[in-house]
Amino acid sequence: MLLALAVGAAPAAAQETAQETAQETAQEATPEAFEQHTPPPEAKPSRWSVGLTAGTYGPSLRALNYALNTPGLVIQQDPNFLIPRNQDLPVEIRDVAAPDLTSTINYGIEAQWQLMPRVSLVIMTLNWQGRSQVSDTITMSLRSNLPPVTVPRTARYNLNINQLWLGWRYAFFDRPGQGSMFFNLGVGGVSVADMNMDSLIKVILPEGQLIPSFASISSTEMHGTAYSTRYGLGGEVFVSEHISVGFHVNYIFGEMQKFRVQRFFPAGFSELPPIPPDSTNNLPPNVIPTSFALPEVGDQLSTAQIITERETAELARDVHDIVLDLDGWEAAFTFRVYY
C-alpha cells in the first residue's frame, strides 16, 4: 500500500519540478532579463571622421637644388641670370649660388569614410612651401654718362607644392574604441607646383645725380602638375569616444616632367627713369648687349652651362629640362574627430 502511494507521488513531483523550471526559463527569456545578462557593447567610432594634420615633407628636388647651388650652371628662366650684363657683371656673378629649398611645418586636411570594420577610404590634402634666399652686391652700369654703381641684390626662390590624395587605409590591428594600426595606400595623387623666382635690386644714388634712386624687381612664375603615389604606416589612439590622435609615415613617389613659365615680369632696365628736364647733359644710356631671349609663356624650366666667348657674347651649352623630383618621406601628427 505504501509502496503504491510512493510510486504514484513520484510522477506528480517530477511534473511540478518541470513546470517550475519552465517558468524560470520563460522569465529569464524576457527582454528585461536579456538586457540584465547581456554585457554592454564596446564603444565603436562612426563611419565618418575629419582630421587636421601637421608634420614635415622632404621632396628630393635634386635637379632644381643642384641648379640653384652649383656655380656655372644657370637656370635660363631665372631673372637673376637675365640681368643685363656689363664688363663688371659676367655670368659668374649674375648667376648667384643659392642654398637648397627648405620648408618648415606643413599642414593638411583629412576626411575618412569607414567602409568596413578594417577598411576605410581616405581623402587628404598636403601643402609644402619651400624657400631659398641669398643676398649679395653687384655692379650696374646705368648710363654712359654715369659711373658704374654697386647695388644690393636679393635673389629669392619660393616653391609651393599642393597635393591631393585618394587612397585606402587597412587596419591590420584594430581595437574598437581604443586604437588601431594601419597601412596607407595612396594610389591616386595629384601634385600641383607653383614657383616664383625673384630678383630684387635697389639702386641708391647720391643726391644731385641725373637719375634718382629707384628699385627694380623682376620675377618669373612657373607652374606644373604631376601624378603621385604614396605608401606607409600609421596608427591612432582614442582619447574619448569621438576624438583620436594619430601619427603616420609615408613615402611619396612622383616626378613633374612639365614645369613651364606662366608669367614673366622683366626688370625694365632698358627703360630707366627719365633725365630731369632741367639737366643739360642728355647723353644716351649705355647700351648693354642682351645675349639670351627673355622667358615666354609655355617655356620649360631648363638649365645650361654658359660659356663666355668674348666681352659681348655668351653661349649656352648642355641645355637640359629640369624635372621636379617629388620623391621623399612625409610624416605628420593627426587630430581626428569621429561623428
Dump pLDDT digits (tens) for 19-28: 555 455 445 5
Instruction: Classify 47 in phi/psi space as left (phi over 0), alpha (psi -120 to 50) or beta.
Output: alpha
Distances (CA, A) of 128 to 55, 83, 239, 319: 10, 30, 29, 28
Whether 202 is covered by a domain: the verdict is yes
Q: What percent of the chain has pLDDT over 70?
A: 74
Per-residue pLDDT at 37: 54
The residue segments making up the domain with residue 79 are: 44-264+291-338
Whether 240 is covered by a domain: the verdict is yes
Residue scoring higher pLDDT (334 or 117)? 334
Number of domains in the chain: 1
- Let me know: does 322 contact 303? Beta carbons within 8 Å: yes
Average pLDDT, the chain: 82
Whether 26 is covered by a domain: the verdict is no
- Let me know: does 296 contact 221? Beta carbons within 8 Å: no
**DSSP alpha helices (H): ranges in the chain?**
2-28, 31-37, 62-69, 91-94
Domain containing residue 309: CATH number: 2.40.160.20
Whether 253 is covered by a domain: the verdict is yes
Whether 20 is covered by a domain: the verdict is no
Whether 100 is covered by a domain: the verdict is yes
Nearest residue to 87 via CA among 146, 136, 138: 138
Whether 175 is covered by a domain: the verdict is yes
Residue scoring higher pLDDT (313 or 307)? 307
Whether 316 is covered by a domain: the verdict is yes
- Let me know: does 241 contact 43? Beta carbons within 8 Å: yes
Q: Model confidence over 54-97: pLDDT tens digits?
A: 999 999 999 999 999 998 899 999 999 888 777 777 888 888 89
pLDDT band at 149 (very low <50, low <70, confident <90, very high): confident
Instruction: Classify 210 in phi/psi space as left (phi over 0), alpha (psi -120 to 50) or beta.
Output: alpha
